[in-house]
Every structure is written in C-alpha cells, then in structure tokens.
C-alpha cells in the first residue's frame, strides 16, 4: 500500500463543484442535509468539514485500487477545539473514537451536487478559505503529512488497541496553519481516520473511527 501525499495550495480562482478541496465548503447532493451531531451537553453542532477527495483525480495514484475511482469522498470531524473554536464540548482524543466522532461520506456520482455554505452568527462564512489539493507518491519537501493510506509513523506502539489491530489509516491530517486558521492537534500531532480492511474492500465508510496522535 503506497501512501498518497496531498499538497495544498491557494487556488487562483474558485474551485468548481466536485473538485478536490481542503477547507472551504462541501459539495453535497441537492436535499442532502449537512452532517450534524449532538454534543455531550445535548447541543447540536455541525461537523467541521475537513476536505473532499475527487476520486477520479486521485485514481492514478491509487496503486492498490483501494478506493472507488468515481465520485466524491468527503471527510468531516469533531475538530472545532483543535481549530480554536470552543463552543462544542466533544473532542477527538488519544484513544480510538466511537463512530460518531467523524463522518466520511461517499457519493458515487457528482451529478446534482451543490456547494453548502455554513454561516456564523454574523452571516459570514464559517469555514477557512478553500485550498486546492494535488496528489503525489513523492514526499514534497517541507510539506505537512497530509496523506491517504499513511503509514502509522506517529503510533508509539506496535499495533492499534484491540479489536482494531489491523485497521488502516484511510486519511491522515497534519497540524498546520494558514492566513485564516490554525489547526493544532495536541502539540503539532496528527488526526488519523481509521478503517477496517473489510470495510475498505467493500467501500463502506460509515464505520470509520479516529484518534489524535501527538508528537
């Protein structure tokens, strides 16, 4: 399994619907509700949109044919705290989470999709500005460790805790910052989205779990 590295850049113009993007706003099918969750105090919050992967764009780098090669794979997570927003009380920690800590949505088709924009209390866009995504098997110099199928380089033990020993890192997000955000996972660690090999073979993404590993 060869890691696929993501390189991020500020786009020259707005990215089209269905394009790979980090931050910004997700593209969702018409009528599809933005993913929400109830925190441990009973309040409702939106999951933070992390990124969407256009599967046709990443297909040439998917050497093991592990992902579908059409459609969109979108990643959401309870990372408000790590972005500096402290309203929600839930937070992904250093133990493997339950399945409701993240949402990974697979849309087989891009037909009928629209950008869904969340606004804050002052009617301003809630999300950081969108970043374009490029893909590579080579590690870009001085780059963050954003990657699909990342090796467990940050894991301080030999395997994940039982019963997740053979689970794979579907997607890894590194701590980094930009002009309008600062993402810091516990002293510049990483967020790992974990998937079982059986679910990955079946392209089933509704049981993904997560944890934060700190450097």
Mean pLDDT, residues 174-185: 93
How deeply is 122 buried, as exposed, middle or buried, from its count of CB atoms within 10 A (0-12, 13-18, 19+)? exposed
Half-sphere exposure of 144 (CA within 13 A, CB side): 23
Hunting for tokens 């950081």 — which residue is that? 128
Which CATH number covers residue 201? 2.30.320.10
The residue that leads in pLDDT, 188 or 91, is: 188
The pLDDT of 50-63, averaged and rounded, is 96
CA distance linking residue 52 with residue 75, whole number of Å: 6
* pLDDT for the residue numbered 146: 97
pLDDT in tens, 59-117: 999 989 999 999 999 999 999 989 988 766 678 999 999 999 999 999 999 999 999 99
Total count of domains within the chain? 1
Query: Which burial class, exposed, middle or buried, applies to 79 when counting CB atoms under 10 A from its CB (0-12, 13-18, 19+)?
Result: buried
pLDDT of residue 136: 94
Query: What digits encode the pLDDT tens for the residues 110-167?
Result: 999 999 998 877 777 788 999 999 999 988 777 799 999 999 999 988 999 999 999 9
In order of 9, 43, 151, the CA distances from 144 in angstroms are 12, 33, 14
Cβ atoms < 10 Å from Cβ of 45: 16
Instruction: Compute φ and ψ for 48, nearest 5 degrees.
Output: -75, 125
Burial 18-37 (b: 16+ CB within 10 A, else e): bbbbbbbbbbbeeeeeebeb
Where are the strands (E) in 109-154, listed by range?
A: 113-115, 131-136, 147-148
Q: What's the domain range around 57?
A: 4-213
Structural contact between residues 40 and 12, judged by C-beta atoms closer than 8 angstroms: no
Quickly state the pLDDT bin for 186 (edges 50, 70, 90).
Answer: confident
């Amino acid at each position: 399994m060869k890691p696929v590295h993501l390189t991020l850049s500020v786009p020259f113009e707005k990215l089209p619907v269905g394009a790979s993007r980090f931050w910004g706003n997700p593209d969702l099918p018409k009528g599809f509700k933005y993913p929400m969750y109830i925190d441990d105090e009973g309040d409702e919050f939106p999951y933070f949109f992390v990124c969407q992967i256009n599967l046709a764009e990443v297909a040439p780098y998917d050497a093991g044919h592990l992902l579908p090669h059409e459609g969109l794979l979108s990643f959401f997570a309870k990372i408000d705290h790590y972005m500096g927003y402290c309203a929600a009380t839930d937070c992904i920690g250093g133990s493997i989470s339950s399945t409701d800590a993240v949402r990974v949505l697979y849309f087989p088709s891009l037909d009928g999709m629209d950008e869904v924009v969340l606004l804050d209390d002052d009617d301003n866009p809630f999300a950081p500005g969108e970043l374009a995504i490029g893909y590579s098997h080579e590690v870009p110099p001085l780059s963050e460790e954003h990657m699909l199928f990342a090796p467990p380089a940050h894991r301080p033990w030999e395997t994940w805790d039982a019963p997740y020993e053979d689970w794979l890192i579907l997607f890894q997000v590194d701590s980094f910052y930009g002009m309008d955000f600062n993402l810091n996972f516990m002293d510049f660690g990483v967020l790992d989205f974990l998937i079982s090999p059986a679910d990955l073979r079946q392209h089933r993404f509704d049981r993904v779990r997560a944890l934060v590993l700190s450097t």
